Chain A
Amino acid sequence: MHIPDGYLSPATCGVFGAVMIPIWTVASKAVKKTLSVKQVPYLAIGAAFSFVIMMFNVPIPGGSTGHAVGGVLVAVLIGPWAACIAVTVALVIQALLFGDGGITAIGANCFNMAFVLPFVGYYVYRLICSDSPAGSNRRVIAAGAGAYVGICVAALCTGVEFGLQPLLYHTANGQALYCPYSLNVAVPAMLVSHFLVFGWVEVIVTALVVKYLQKQDAVFFKGGRF
């Protein structure tokens, strides 16, 4: 799902960068309120954790790569605003140091994977699990469902971003200047691969990890730690 440099026009990158600035500002304020000074290293470690999960990616046709993002998992564990910062940090390190995901496309990548994915996934999780007991299977199912919906909505956003490029940026004779596939190809390509393959990777990783953590330390889901 990482969008490299050159897939999106500079204007699109600028728009998403501008959209992310207030989100990052609100995220840092929210995190400052909810996480104590003591938990700053926790945020850094959460980001490294998210990075490690995202390392295992597989190329897919239609524009990008697919992998477990772990954004919903991190959101379930430390809250969606902290997850937004943790995933952003992971994406910045990937783009700057490893060339995975573009530097100019960092706003778009963060919008998809650090904002849409954890927030959609987290609220689906909250909606399904409601006030169920910390060790219940319902929480495992809720985390899995949140992960699936979160990654599929993020993939939809990525597909729309790709698909808008040939409509908005082309030469007089119709030659695409950036991602060459329009909405009718880019959106189904991203959605089908995530509906059928990568959504399930995210479900398996998120649900099983939540299940293991429930067994080891149910305090994670009681809100006791944060």
Chain B
Amino acid sequence: MSNPVHKKSDFIERSILSALAFLKDATLSEEYANRKGLLQSLDPRFKTISFFAFLVTAVSLKNVVLIGTLYGLCLLLAFLSSIPVRHFLVRTLLFIPLFSLCIVLPTLFSIVTPGEAVWSFNILGISAVITRPGFDGALLFVVRIATSVSLVVLLSLTTRHSELLKVLRVFGVPPIFVLTVSMSYRYLYLFATMVENIFTAVKSRVGVVSHQRHGQNIVAWNIANTWNRTTQMSEEVYMAMLSRGYTGEPRLLSAFQATPKDWVWLLGAVIICASLFYRGYTL
């Protein structure tokens, strides 16, 4: 027989450890960013600007076919960048778009969105009517979100994270912010490992967490302990920075170099966005 208390504590542990595993995997792998492919060969600055343009286009368009065209482009780019399409679809569709679909489900029905009926049926003797504005609105919402998420994930998968963070300078973000973001990113993996080690240590000493209150205490102690260790670490990090020549003014190394290919790519992206905007305006 299953023990509900155990199940609850297992859930806390599993959710935290799986989140940590995802974080470690995402920060370390960069497997796709190191592959040879179309997007990987582009200068990160040009790639980020073009993807931002695609994103703004996807969010601004009001026609599902035009947004679907951008989604199709996204899949094509994933294929040309050596990303397995199945992996890409799972990564992009399973979370936010699926969740958004659940959110908009009630808006399909006449009780929430009145209008022309496109399909009516009975559930447990209750008549349900799906309306045209409800269906069109829900479809537009989900396709737009799926496209937006796909664009961001594609950019993130095909660019080394350190380079992607450095690109923030192109958008005029002050160096102190970029330095903080870059440093912070480096600590994520360390923190993930630290939290995981604490959980393993607690489990090896007290076995499973048997009570919800006990579980809360362990999580809180874990966070407090992480904070304490970070304050100690900050002193050491500062000394390490000083020993490497840090003078108080952040400097970022930039090794980006644009090629004609990057300019052609950017021009192509601008033409695609302008065409979609024009088509959306004339429809």
B254 interface residue, CB < 8 Å from A? no
> How far, in Å, is B20 (CB) from chain A's closest CB?
8
- Contact (Cβ within 8 A) A61 B103: yes
Tell me whether chain A's interface is mostly helix, strand or loop, or mixed.
helix
B219 interface residue, CB < 8 Å from A? yes
> How far, in Å, is B226 (CB) from chain A's closest CB?
6
- Contact (Cβ within 8 A) A95 B234: no
Report the bound CA distance from A104 to B51 in whole Å: 12
B138 interface residue, CB < 8 Å from A? yes
> How far, in Å, is B81 (CB) from chain A's closest CB?
16
CB-based nearest B residue for A173: B133
Q: Total number of A-B contacts with CB less than 8 angstroms?
A: 205
Q: B217 contacts which chain A residues (CB < 8 A)?
A: 208
Report the bound CA distance from A79 to B171 in whole Å: 27
- Per the CB 8 Å criterion, the residue count for chain A at the interface is 69
Known contacts A47-B180, A213-B224; decide if A99 and B219 are in contact (CB<8 Å): no
CB<8 Å pairs between A and B, sample of 26: A6-B141, A7-B145, A10-B59, A39-B234, A42-B230, A45-B183, A45-B231, A49-B230, A51-B188, A52-B188, A55-B20, A62-B103, A65-B99, A85-B177, A85-B180, A95-B152, A96-B164, A98-B26, A99-B156, A104-B59, A174-B113, A174-B133, A180-B113, A208-B220, A209-B227, A211-B220
Identify the A interface with B (CB < 8 A): 4-7, 9-10, 13, 24, 28, 37-49, 51-53, 55-56, 59, 61-63, 65, 70, 73, 77, 85, 88-90, 92-93, 95-99, 102-104, 171, 173-181, 204-205, 208-209, 211-213, 216-217, 225
Identify the B interface with A (CB < 8 A): 15-16, 19-20, 23, 26, 52, 55-56, 58-60, 62, 96, 99-100, 102-104, 107, 112-113, 115, 133, 136-138, 140-141, 144-145, 147-149, 152-153, 156, 161, 164-165, 168, 174, 176-177, 179-181, 183-185, 187-188, 190-192, 195, 216-217, 219-221, 223-228, 230-231, 233-235, 237-238, 241, 248, 250
